Chain A
Amino acid sequence: MAVFTSMVYQNEYLGDGSTDVNAIVRITCSEAGAAGQTGVGDVGEIVIVDTSASMGLVNMQAAKDAAMVAVDTILDGTFFSIIAGNHRAYLAFPRVVSGPGMVRMNAQTRADAKLAIASFRADGGTAMGSWLLLARSLFRSIPSLAGRHAILLTDGENHNESVTQLEASIRACLGEFQVDCRGIGVEWQVSEIRKIAQALLGTVDVIPSPRELPQIFQELITRSMSRGVPDAALRVWIPQGAQIVFVRQVSPTVEDLTHRGTPVDPLTSTYPTGAWGDESRDYHISIRLPAKTVGTEQLAARVQLSTGTAILTQGLVKAKWSADPSLTAGISPEVAHYTGQAELASAIQEGLAARAQGDDRTATQKLGRAVQLATQTGNAEAAARLERVVDVADAATGTVRLKKNIDKADEMALDTASTRTTRIRG
């Protein structure tokens, strides 16, 4: 049985007249168990492989190898299916036209699935929205599923659907399943794929070389199979008269959840967090309260993790008004760190977006700020990635020059990794 614990990091002291309370709530899950084997329901896994013409021989072969490794890694008993996607979505395995669209993994289905994968060939265009909608139908065909996860591999832009079509498909899949997205090569759009991954509670990353693909698929499936808690929600209670300024996951990646809340009652909202394995996630909660008399103590938020109606852990965010500046002046180091990391993520994304539009001035300024923040918050990974895109004159002041020749893969790697945060040092 999974055990959840929570820790709250904050300076609970507010000066006279102050209203905003910020806290980092770290939620940790242990003893999660294996997906589908904890008695809370079955799990389903779908592998979606781009089989458009642009994949070509090399990438297609790598994708086939990777899909087979994925099939090998999916635990026996797990419901699964394989989707081949180009400008249409094909159910490659199991080969059924009606009824349940997923089968349980065993030696026979594993062998049959590999045969189906072996017959993939690169042809046609790209319509990822249709792939997602097929995945949704397949998951829905197995009512016993408590956890639903997919991996999606693509190599190109979503040529055969409009932005609106893709967005409508993403919306239709909200809360239905999680999807980790991987892009191979440099012809795909990070922002397009990130939209899918963020909405469907997954990750996005670039795979520079086809050789790495099988290992990456294995890691993704292994991680998914280790998530014994199929679906949990973050619940945030605030007192009457208060308002949520933002709710943000800040570790392992920055994800703004503010507008993804579903009200439970007038004071409580839930935010989707998907499946949990043995891991910690940090959330930055910012609440605005009506100012109270110095000396008053109250709760600013109850931050809970829940599955269904069961509350598994609760962190208390407090507010104590004080006239003592030695208490009220300090910012919690965790809050400061993650505020910087969140700004770092947006500085990188905005900088790269500006560069793509030819606005070098904004790009230089934003990426300079990113270098400064990466240095200040000790995010060595981001600092290293930034240095492949800009020449750093002075990291402390954020003085940089855009490189003349930027490797597209480096730029995409910087973009996809921009939301990844580091934990506070010490």
Chain B
Amino acid sequence: MTGFNHRAPGVEWSAASVEATIPLRPVEPASPYPSACVSCGGELGIDGYCLQCGQKAKSLREHYELTPADWVAGVCDIGLVHIHNEDALACQADRTRAVLVVCDGVTTSEASDVASMVGAQAACSMVWGSNPQGTGTPTSRAAAIEALLTQSVVAANQAVIDSTDPASRNAAATTIALALVDGNVVSCVNLGDSRVYWFPDEGEPCQLSKDHSLAQDGIDSGAGRAEAEASLFAHTITKWLGRDATDVTPYHRTTTVTTSGWLVVCTDGLWNFASEASAMSELLGQCSGEDPTPLGLASGLVAWANGQGGHDNVTVACARLVTAGQGVAPSSTESEIPTAPTPVQP
């Protein structure tokens, strides 16, 4: 899989430097369009179409890619049917730490494309800008991280409310899913139905997040997943960010990974096609080529979703976690965690 590796100048949310720890600022790209065609790399005409392949140019809000480090990347795409991209993506990474955030604005609310963007950025910058250790014990540290992540969801909620027009009768709402990688510890929080998956190279894949949706409620009360997710109101979310939200307490989970693998954070634009972790794992295998880079994999998954009709916005963030030698190195010893991407073992 060849990645597009397209990076538009002036995209302030793509923190190119791994050193960057400054909070991300709200984004107003200088040009609404990228400098080259996303599809073929050709020059774009002033009429908004590629001069080479004729593809309609997507604006930087409609399609953008982030690669904060060689082991972390994400793609956020409008899909083929929607008029607005209400999904948002934010991520940051250095050698051992990474934050991956996706938000999925609720289409039926007003200006949810703005809400998802400010929400994703607010949460990402808060988590990235602080590195709580607690009292130093693993338990205390985990508790401190959980508190930070929960706090970041509150901050995201505030950012969404701040960006909402007070006169809006149908206040913007958005989901959020955030994963923090710190060495071999993955902590995640989510609100709504955006997801975090872990796909170890060996062993069972699993979904780390838990949806707040009527489908999940159905599953919790004993219905089968397929049945619950096929129901008419399956996609109705029961928790969200926004002025009308009553409860922004996220679902939280921390796990220590013991083997190399892929961490994937995505919106339902992807998981609708492969909800079960095992099904998603197969899809990953199908979309990752010989030697997938995180951007290659994210692009491949987005392209695959668009190939199914592109009925929804789709956002995918991937991190390649690699353990050193036997077992998993402690996160405090950076040198023992090589983080360059390596091929997925068949």
Contacts and interface: CB of A to CB of B under 8 A. Distances in A.
Contacts of B310: 293, 295
Interface string A233-245: 0000111111000
A137 B115 CA distance: 72
Contacts, number: 54
A101 to B, nearest CB: 44
Interface string B267-287: 000000000000000000000
B309 interface: yes
A348 B53 CA distance: 40
Nearest to A297: B56
Interface in A221-243: 237-242
B53 A298 contact: yes
Contacts of A295: 79-81, 306, 309-311
Interface in B45-86: 45, 47, 49-56, 79-81
A235 to B, nearest CB: 13
Interface in A371-387: none
Contacts of B81: 295
A240 B52 contact: yes
Nearest to B81: A295
Given A293-B310, A294-B309, A316 B80 contact: no
Q: How large is the interface on B (under 10, 10 to 19, 20 to 34, 35 or more residues)?
A: 20 to 34
A74 interface: no
A3 B203 CA distance: 70
Contacts of B55: 239, 296-299
A51 interface: no
A241, A267, A294, A297 pick with most chain B CB within 10 angstroms = A294
Interface string B235-262: 0000000000000000000000000000
Contact of B40 (A238, A240, A267, A302): A240
B129 interface: no
Given A239-B54, A240-B53, A293-B307, A302 B47 contact: yes
A400 to B, nearest CB: 45
A384 B55 CA distance: 47
Contacts of B80: 293-296
B335 to A, nearest CB: 45
Contacts of B49: 298-299, 302, 316
Q: How large is the interface on A (under 10, 10 to 19, 20 to 34, 35 or more residues)?
A: 10 to 19
Contacts of B40: 240
A293 B56 contact: no
B176 to A, nearest CB: 27
B54 A314 contact: no
Interface on chain A toward B: helix, strand, loop, or mixed SS? loop
Given A295-B80, A323-B309, A314 B53 contact: no
A285 to B, nearest CB: 14
Given A293-B80, A295-B79, A302-B47, A241 B53 contact: yes
Contacts of B53: 239-241, 298
Contact of A293 (B42, B45, B306): B306
B301 to A, nearest CB: 15
Interface string A35-64: 000000000000000000000000000000
B153 to A, nearest CB: 33
Given A293-B80, A314-B47, A298 B309 contact: no
A299 B55 CA distance: 6
A355 B53 CA distance: 48
B52 A267 contact: yes
A298 B79 contact: no
A379 to B, nearest CB: 35
B84 to A, nearest CB: 15
B43 to A, nearest CB: 12
A314 B309 CA distance: 31
A297 B53 CA distance: 11
Interface in A192-244: 237-242
Contact of A316 (B47, B79, B307, B311): B47
A138 interface: no
Nearest to A321: B80
A125 B56 CA distance: 61
Nearest to B79: A295
B278 to A, nearest CB: 27
Contacts of B56: 297-299
A300 interface: yes
A6 to B, nearest CB: 12
Contacts of A314: 47
Contacts of B45: 302
Interface in A282-320: 293-300, 302, 314, 316
Contacts of B79: 295
B180 to A, nearest CB: 34
Contacts of B311: 295
B189 to A, nearest CB: 33
B174 to A, nearest CB: 24
A296 to B, nearest CB: 6
Given A293-B80, A316-B49, A298 B54 contact: yes
Contacts of A299: 47, 49-50, 54-56
B45, B54, B309 pick with most chain A CB within 10 angstroms = B54
A281 B256 CA distance: 71
B42, B55, B79 pick with most chain A CB within 10 angstroms = B55
A38 B178 CA distance: 66
Contacts of B42: 240
A299 B50 CA distance: 8
A240 B50 CA distance: 10
A240 B40 CA distance: 10
Nearest to A319: B54
A297 B310 CA distance: 12
A314 B47 CA distance: 10
Contacts of B306: 293, 295
A76 to B, nearest CB: 43
Nearest to B82: A295
Interface string B293-311: 0000000000000110111
A239 B52 contact: yes
A324 B235 CA distance: 24
A240 B311 CA distance: 27
A155 to B, nearest CB: 51
Interface in A245-294: 267, 293-294
A193 B285 CA distance: 68
A293, A295, A296 pick with most chain B CB within 10 angstroms = A295
Nearest to A301: B54
Question: Which 9 A-B residue pairings sit nearest by Cβ, starting from the closest?
Answer: A295-B80, A239-B54, A299-B54, A298-B54, A299-B49, A297-B56, A295-B310, A298-B55, A239-B53
11 contacts: A238-B54, A240-B42, A241-B53, A293-B80, A293-B307, A293-B309, A295-B306, A297-B56, A298-B53, A299-B50, A323-B309
Given A293-B80, A298-B53, A302-B47, 8 more contacts: A238-B54, A239-B50, A239-B55, A241-B53, A298-B50, A298-B56, A299-B49, A314-B47
